[in-house]
Amino acid sequence: MSLFWRIFVMNASLLVVAAALLLSPWVTISAPVLPDEAIVVTAGVLAMLAADACLFRYGLAPLKQLSQAMARVDLLNPGARPKATTQLEMAELVHTFNAMLDRLESERATSSARVAAAQEAERRHLARELHDEVGQTLTAVLLQLKWLADRAPMELREDLHAAQETTRESLDELRRIARRLRPGVLEDLGLASALRALTADFRTAGVTVRYQLDAGLAGLAPEVELAIYRVAQEALANAARYSHADRIDLELRHQMPGVVDLMVRDNGHGLRDAAEGSGIRGMRERALLIGARFVIDATPEGGTAVRLRVPTTAGAEQ
């Protein structure tokens, strides 16, 4: 029965019952109305209103459930769908809403893939520019400072050596930035070597980073390796920069056949009900691109744990 006819039948039933009671010998109306009759009529009206409210609440309950489901929709956490009911209009409305969600999630996945590809292309371009242009310029400056320091008077050599060290540190930092923008180790040596090099970069910042990488992680698709690397990179950066952690654990393991788990835990001050920033949203979008499950939560010690569960074969259980 459609929603219109359900509501019509509910109200019609109440009116028929009220009319039957008025025509019955148990309810009589005098002129003028007696106090007892006024009480009976008032009680009847209140009872009809209460019954009408209950029936409407029951009849429109699927609309409220659908409204709540709409409010919970998050395209970064896809898959949740409201269930269709037996009511005709409600079933059609739920099916239409679910079809819209399917289309939005598909379009978002496509646009996110394009944005990610554009970002990686821009990162490679910036890394080349930094390495080829700025890096070569700093190298030339370093050589010129060395040449000047070898020929300068003794009273100027200390200052020139200090300028050399500053330039050398700037060149090293520039190379680290270029490596983060374009992980050449990932392309040349694979995911495990890239993650080791990534943890080494954070050790130089005074953070203790321990890693455990399972053997036999080769064979992952390039886009999967890149997504895992970027999530690990962002998780390490967040732990060092925002959580003020001094110890970070990174694990990449085969938890079950067809599934690879990335876990990054720290001993920082945790999320503290902070709103998700662009970094966490970026990790969620990268997880969506490869069909992975992304979870971020607090550890029992008060730190933060980032987990990425990646299916490596079709039909792997997530």
Mean pLDDT estimate for the chain: 78
Top mean pLDDT of 2-11, 52-61, 147-156, 176-185 is at 147-156
The angle that helices 154-181 and 135-151 make with each other, rounded to 10 degrees, is 170
Q: CA 49 → CA 3, 36, 185, distances in Å? A: 20, 20, 73
| Higher-scoring residue by pLDDT: 313, 189 | 189
| pLDDT over 70 (residue 273) | no
Mean pLDDT along residues 156-169: 86
Closest alpha carbon to 13 in 54, 43, 42, 41? 54
Instruction: Please say whether the beta carbons of 289 and 223 come within 8 A.
Output: yes
pLDDT more than 70, % of the chain: 85
Parallel, antiparallel or unpaired: strands 259-266 and 304-311: antiparallel
* Residue the block writes with tokens 């050589």: 143
Distance CA 202, CA 246 (A): 10
Mean pLDDT along residues 311-315: 62
Q: For residue 32, say if its preceding peptide bond is cis, omega within 30 degrees of 0.
A: yes
Residue 43, judged by CB atoms within 10 A of its CB (0-12, 13-18, 19+), counts as exposed
What dihedral angle (degrees, nearest 10) is formed by the CA atoms of 281, 282, 288, 294?
-60
| Domain limits, the chain | 3-72, 84-182, 189-318
Question: According to the model, what pLDDT value does residue 253 have?
Answer: 86
185 contact partners, CB below 8 Å, separation of at least 6: 179, 193, 194, 197
What are 84-143's pLDDT values in tens digits? 666 666 777 778 888 888 888 777 777 777 777 777 778 777 877 776 778 888 888 888
| pLDDT over 80 (residue 276) | no
What are 11-66's pLDDT values in tens digits? 778 777 777 777 677 766 666 767 777 787 778 778 877 877 787 777 777 777 77
Helix H segments across the chain? 3-23, 35-72, 88-129, 135-151, 154-181, 184-189, 191-203, 222-241, 278-289
| pLDDT over 60 (residue 316) | no
Lowest mean per-residue pLDDT among 83-92, 253-262, 301-310: 83-92
What are 199-215's pLDDT values in tens digits? 887 776 667 888 888 87
Query: What pTM, to 2 d.p., does this model score?
Result: 0.62
| pLDDT over 80 (residue 306) | yes
Instruction: Please say whether the beta carbons of 228 and 212 come within 8 A.
Output: no
Q: CA 210 → CA 193, 213, 264, 296, distances in Å? A: 14, 10, 10, 19
Question: According to the model, what pLDDT value does residue 303 have?
Answer: 84
Question: According to the model, what pLDDT value does residue 219 have?
Answer: 72
* Start-to-end CA span in the chain (Å): 39
State which CATH number among 3.30.565.10, 3.20.20.70, 1.20.1560.10, 1.10.10.10 fits the domain covering 189-318.
3.30.565.10
| pLDDT over 60 (residue 314) | no
What are 207-245's pLDDT values in tens digits? 788 888 887 676 788 888 888 888 988 888 888 877 778
| pLDDT over 80 (residue 293) | yes
Instruction: Please say whether the beta carbons of 317 and 259 come within 8 A.
Output: yes
Tokens for 241? 């920069």
69 contact partners, CB below 8 Å, separation of at least 6: 80, 81, 82, 97
